[in-house]
Structure 1
Amino acid sequence: MTTTRVSVVQLGSGSDRESNLDAIEKSLRTAAENGSTLTLLPEASIYRGPYLPEYVEAEDGPAITRVAGLARELEMDVVLGGVWTESGDPEHAHNSCLVFDRRGRIAARYKKVHLFRLDRPGEPADDEAAFTAPGDETVVVGGKNLTIGLSICYDLRFAALYRGLAQAGATVLSVPANFSAYTGPAHWEVLLRARAIENLCYVLAPAQIGTDDTGFSAYGHSLIVDSWGTVIAGADDSPAVLTVDLDLELVRAGRDQLGSLAHDRPDVYTRPPRIEDLHG
């Protein structure tokens, strides 16, 4: 059996970066005590609040450097789910997922491709594009036992992204999130399990809880889903560290039994559909 122990962290980050970093450190130390070699942090772990250009960091900035140092000290791979990084435009940062290896080196970086927008009647729109520049690349990072496909939060609604990650070799899908409490009860678990089932991958989904200074409320309910779509660990709406052993033989066995990844027809999907008139 080839297993890897991993942890998924649920946080209630806010606008106080030092408090957030202290909570990150506490969670990473708990994961290390649990024996995890890989830990995933949610989107907006370092700062969750109104857009402030002074909190956009270079990759050697102080907050990112602190997380890198913890990865190095604890000899743990760490996925920092989403942090504002420089885009070249002071009005729009990238929302970047950074993956640190056990030496504290940034081994991979993914810039969020799909930017969240939610329009509710009678309320201001939640529009990530107002302060975020979208990325234009998908990313898979390979480790000793796991191959991880990277994404962030709202990406979860776009199945084609995850299919591409799985076809590129991902056995684990990382979905760090600050998922809306408005849509979460209906959509969060359903979409996570669907991405696992469709792609025969584990799905690791660390999430935020609570309401930030902009009034945005996060759903929480971090989940770990196996490659058959079964929820194997979950949190409620409190801070948590979920730790499980991932069995990559389960992924291989599922793909041997159900070969849907080999049955894709991109030659068909890329052609526009023929339009018929039902009453013609």
Structure 2
Amino acid sequence: MTRVSVVQLGSSADRNANLATIEKSLRTAAENGSAFAFLPEASIYRGPYDPVHVEAEDGPVLGRMSELARELELNVVLGGVWTPGVDPEHADNSCLVFDRTGQIAARYRKVHLFRLDRSGEPADDEAAFTRPGDRTVALRAGELTIGLSVCYDLRFPELYRNLADAGATVLSVPANFSAYTGPAHWEVLLRARAIENLCYVVAPAQIGTDPTGFAAYGHSLVVDPWGNVVARAGDEPAVLTVDVDPALVQARRLELRSPQHARPDVYAHPARIEELDG
């Protein structure tokens, strides 16, 4: 068994206030005996894009995250933070994993960039200021293997099958998920990813409305490999602490071997289209 905590936040554009809330949440996770704490996307800063909030890994805010991980002897999955990309006009949306010594053990750049076009409203277009990643990443961590993703990635099942094929037993989905799509899509997609891959899914989320007017759905979840919700937050800040059992993943995969029955050799070909006459 490995104990993990999933943190729900209502981050704002005030980085100092966000850091204070993050520290309090991480201390709660450590007091609960967790080995891992999962933070949502945009934990450190949630507001309009500004290059001033793009920070190198040795910057002061990420340095403080490193200090907290080391002090608390806690592995911290920082769900999404702007880090410098090769293009100065477009940052990377990076998920960084700090180990118990404060070192960055894994880096994942968000592959799928959010866009939402609602009638009569400006488009939410992450690609306007963010560069998409081009690699999937999983982290071996003792008895767990954690597949990394960020928010909008949730809509692309191929990414999670790739991570499960690499050995992932836990899928991490830190999010700043839209309150417009969340009621219909959030839980059903998280449970689907768990069921399809017979993995745990941990999904820390943001709540509230940021300074741009973007409203986040909240409702952080932990889902077991059978698709059961084992922990759920509402609309308030929260720290959900659960025990993750790798033996349950293995047991479910022995019962139902659907991932082994996938046929990528078939899916690689376009569907044959038949015509109906008359």
- Asked whether the two chains share a fold, i.e. TM above 0.5, the reply is yes
Q: For 2:276 and 2:88, locate their aligned partners in 1 and report how far apart those are by CA, in whole Å.
A: 51
Runs (5+) with no aligned partner, structure 1? none
The answer on 1:223 being equivalent to 2:221 is yes
The residue type paired with residue 123 of structure 1 is E
| Equivalent residue number for residue 164 of structure 1 | 162
Q: For 2:87 and 2:10, locate their aligned partners in 1 and report how far apart those are by CA, in whole Å.
A: 28
Of 241, 245, 258 in structure 2, the residue corresponding to residue 260 of structure 1 is 258
| Equivalent residue number for residue 99 of structure 1 | 97
The residue type paired with residue 239 of structure 2 is V
**1:12-59 C-alpha deviation (Å, 9 max, x unpaired):** 001000000111100000000000010100000000000010110111
The residue type paired with residue 15 of structure 1 is A
Compute the TM-score of the two structures, normalised by the length of structure 2. 0.99
| Equivalent residue number for residue 269 of structure 2 | 271
Measured after TM superposition, the shift of residue 192 of structure 1 is 0.2
Measured after TM superposition, the shift of residue 219 of structure 1 is 0.2
Of 138, 141, 144 in structure 2, the residue corresponding to residue 140 of structure 1 is 138
The residue type paired with residue 212 of structure 1 is D
Deviates more, 1:172-181 or 1:87-96: 87-96
User: Percent identical across equivalent pairs?
Assistant: 75
Q: For 1:10 and 1:51, locate their aligned partners in 2 and report how far apart those are by CA, in whole Å.
A: 22
Structure 1 segments (4+ residues) deviating >2 Å: none
Deviates more, 1:137-146 or 1:270-279: 270-279
| Equivalent residue number for residue 237 of structure 2 | 239
| Equivalent residue number for residue 109 of structure 1 | 107
Q: Following superposition of structure 1 onto structure 2, how do residues 195-210 of structure 1 map, counting pairs within 5 Å?
A: 195-210=193-208
The answer on 1:27 being equivalent to 2:25 is yes
| Equivalent residue number for residue 172 of structure 2 | 174
SS in 1 for 2:85: strand
Measured after TM superposition, the shift of residue 73 of structure 1 is 0.6
Of 127, 151, 161 in structure 2, the residue corresponding to residue 129 of structure 1 is 127
Runs (5+) with no aligned partner, structure 2? none
**1:60-102 C-alpha deviation (Å, 9 max, x unpaired):** 1111111111111111111000000000222210000001111
Of 57, 65, 81 in structure 1, the residue corresponding to residue 55 of structure 2 is 57
Aligned length: 278
The residue type paired with residue 87 of structure 1 is G
The answer on 1:76 being equivalent to 2:74 is yes
Q: For 1:31 and 1:134, locate their aligned partners in 2 and report how far apart those are by CA, in whole Å.
A: 31
SS in 2 for 1:88: coil
Q: For 1:111 and 1:89, locate their aligned partners in 2 and report how far apart those are by CA, in whole Å.
A: 14
Measured after TM superposition, the shift of residue 163 of structure 1 is 0.5
Q: For 1:177 and 1:109, locate their aligned partners in 2 and report how far apart those are by CA, in whole Å.
A: 16
Q: For 2:89 and 2:209, locate their aligned partners in 1 and report how far apart those are by CA, in whole Å.
A: 24
For the aligned residue pairs, the C-alpha RMSD in angstroms reads: 0.7
SS in 2 for 1:185: helix
Q: For 2:177 and 2:275, locate their aligned partners in 1 and report how far apart those are by CA, in whole Å.
A: 39
The residue type paired with residue 277 of structure 1 is E
